């Protein structure tokens, strides 16, 4: 029986998703050195087939970033809607973000580079800017709510937000520079959380 157009469409989407899944892993491991050949191998397809879905690795990277931002938004939204106190939601947010960063250092490094690179499409940069701003806004909101419940230390909430973000960025770049040291001594999120505790 010949495949219907609908079945073909489903197949194409599944194939595309498989390439993006593979690309995420390969970019996270190899950074920008990843090639189409690496991505195709990880997706267990031929390079020729990969090129039928994406013009080049830049196109794959853009799509991977867009999906990462989307899923970042959903995660933020889910955290905001969780039951529990603001302090508990804040703790969840900070620990998730630090763990996520730790597990995907190379990929984040790639995003930082893409952001600074003039060649990166402006819409992608806008997306990254908004994502970063939203993360800060959500953290700030939880900090203010947590200060009201007494779960978060008093003081200028913006100082607290900046301290956490500085730590996150500082850890990422240090860990990339000193991978051996960080393999064994990457600070646990609860150390960072103490900055926010009364």
Binding-site ranges for its own copies (CB under 8 A): 153, 155-156, 158-160, 162-163, 165-171, 173-174, 181-182, 184-188, 191-192, 194-195, 197
**Closer to its own copies by Cβ: residue 33 or 178:** 178
Which C-beta is closer to its own copies: that of 128 or that of 160?
Answer: 160
User: What gap in Å lies between CA 122 and CA 141, rounded to an integer?
Assistant: 28
**Cα angle 152-154-159, degrees, rounded to a multiple of 5:** 95
Q: Residue 71 CB, nearest distance to its own copies (Å)?
A: 24
Q: How far is the CB of 138 from its own copies (least distance, A)?
A: 17
- CA 112, 116, 120, 125 dihedral sign is positive
DSSP single-letter state for residue 34? -
Place of tokens 């039928």: 52
If you write DSSP's letter for every residue of 157-193 in order, what string do you get? HHHHHHHHHHHHHHHHHHHHH-HHHHHHHPPPHHHHH
Q: What separation, in Å, do the N-terminal and C-terminal C-alpha atoms of the chain show? A: 68
Alpha helical stretches, state H, 31-156: 36-42, 47-53, 57-80, 86-103, 105-116, 122-149
**Of the two residues 4 and 183, which places its CB atom closer to its own copies in the complex?**
183
Q: How far is the CB of 165 from its own copies (least distance, A)?
A: 7
Taking the least distance from each CB to its own copies, the nearer of 3 and 181 is 181
Closer CB to its own copies, 84 or 155, in the complex: 155
Of the candidates 58, 79, 90, 50, which has an alpha carbon nearest to the alpha carbon of residue 193?
90
Minimal distance, residue 162 CB to its own copies, in Å = 6
* Minimum CB–partner distance for residue 66 and its own copies (Å): 24
């Amino acid at each position: 029986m010949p495949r219907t157009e609908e079945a073909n469409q489903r197949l194409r989407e599944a194939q595309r998703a498989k390439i993006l899944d593979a690309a995420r892993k390969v970019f996270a491991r190899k950074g920008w050195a990843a090639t189409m050949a690496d991505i195709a191998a990880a997706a267990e397809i031929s390079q020729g087939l990969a090129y039928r879905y994406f013009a080049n690795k830049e196109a794959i990277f853009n799509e991977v970033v867009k999906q990462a931002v989307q899923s970042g938004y959903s995660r933020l939204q889910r955290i905001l809607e969780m039951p529990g106190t603001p302090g508990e939601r804040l703790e969840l947010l900070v620990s998730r973000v630090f763990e996520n960063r730790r597990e995907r250092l190379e990929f984040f490094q790639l995003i930082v580079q893409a952001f600074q690179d003039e060649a990166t499409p402006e819409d992608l940069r806008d997306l990254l800017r908004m994502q970063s701003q939203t993360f800060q806004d959500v953290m700030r909101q939880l900090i203010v709510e947590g200060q009201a419940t007494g779960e978060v230390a008093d003081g200028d909430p913006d100082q607290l937000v900046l301290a956490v973000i500085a730590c996150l960025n500082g850890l990422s770049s240090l860990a990339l520079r000193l991978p051996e040291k960080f393999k064994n001594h990457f600070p646990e999120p609860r150390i960072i959380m103490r900055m926010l505790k009364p």
